[in-house]
């Protein structure tokens, strides 16, 4: 079972893949997003984080957003609460974690980092 983390805290996964149009893609952390041709029917992309020390997923998210992907973007795997703000800044809409991580890092740990738009370098420069 997995837990979905959003800016509002923990929630159940509401994604339902519908056959005949709505599809989702799962991307490994080693994929080069600049080589992908993403069809318009893709409404969600999940990027795998095999380890909390593997930050390639952040780069993938940023590249997808820069290339114009506007659908749902989800980080899945070993993302920790301390990385939540970075995940949101990189372009992820949500983070999918397993129950054991949710128990070790409960909802208040994630909510404490949900104000991801303030406190970053660019916000401090803008004053």
**For the domain that residue 72 is a member of, what is the CATH number?**
3.20.20
pTM for the structure as a whole? 0.87
CA-based torsion, 39, 17, 22, 116: positive or negative: negative
pLDDT of residue 44: 94
Mean pLDDT of 10-24: 74
Residue listed under structure tokens 């940023």: 62
The two structure tokens encoding residue 24: 């989702």
User: Tens of pLDDT along 58-74?
Assistant: 999 999 999 999 999 99
Supply the mean pLDDT for the chain.
Answer: 89
Count of structural domains, the chain? 1
pLDDT of residue 30: 94
**How far is residue 70's CA from residue 78's CA, in Å, rounded to a whole number?**
24
Does residue 108 lie within any of the structural domains?
no
pLDDT of residue 49: 97
Does residue 80 lie within any of the structural domains?
yes
- The domain of 9 spans 1-30+40-97
Does residue 61 lie within any of the structural domains?
yes
The two structure tokens encoding residue 40: 């318009």
Taking 70 as the threshold, does the pLDDT of residue 119 lie above it?
no
Name which of 90, 36, 35 is nearest 58 in CA terms. 90
Q: Which residues contact 51 (CB under 8 A, 6 or more apart)?
A: 78
**How far is residue 34's CA from residue 55's CA, in Å, rounded to a whole number?**
17
């Amino acid at each position: 079972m997995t837990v979905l983390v959003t800016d509002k805290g923990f929630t159940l996964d509401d994604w339902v893949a519908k056959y005949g149009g709505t599809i989702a893609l799962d991307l490994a952390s080693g994929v080069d997003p600049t080589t992908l041709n993403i069809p318009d029917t893709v409404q969600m992309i999940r990027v795998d984080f095999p380890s909390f020390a593997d930050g390639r997923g952040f780069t993938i998210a940023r590249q997808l957003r820069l290339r114009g992907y506007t659908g749902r973007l989800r980080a899945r795997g070993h993302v920790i609460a301390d990385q939540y703000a970075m995940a949101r800044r990189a372009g992820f809409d949500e983070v999918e974690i397993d129950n054991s991580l949710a128990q070790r890092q409960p909802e208040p740990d994630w909510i404490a980092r949900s104000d991801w738009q303030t406190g970053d370098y660019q916000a401090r420069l803008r004053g």
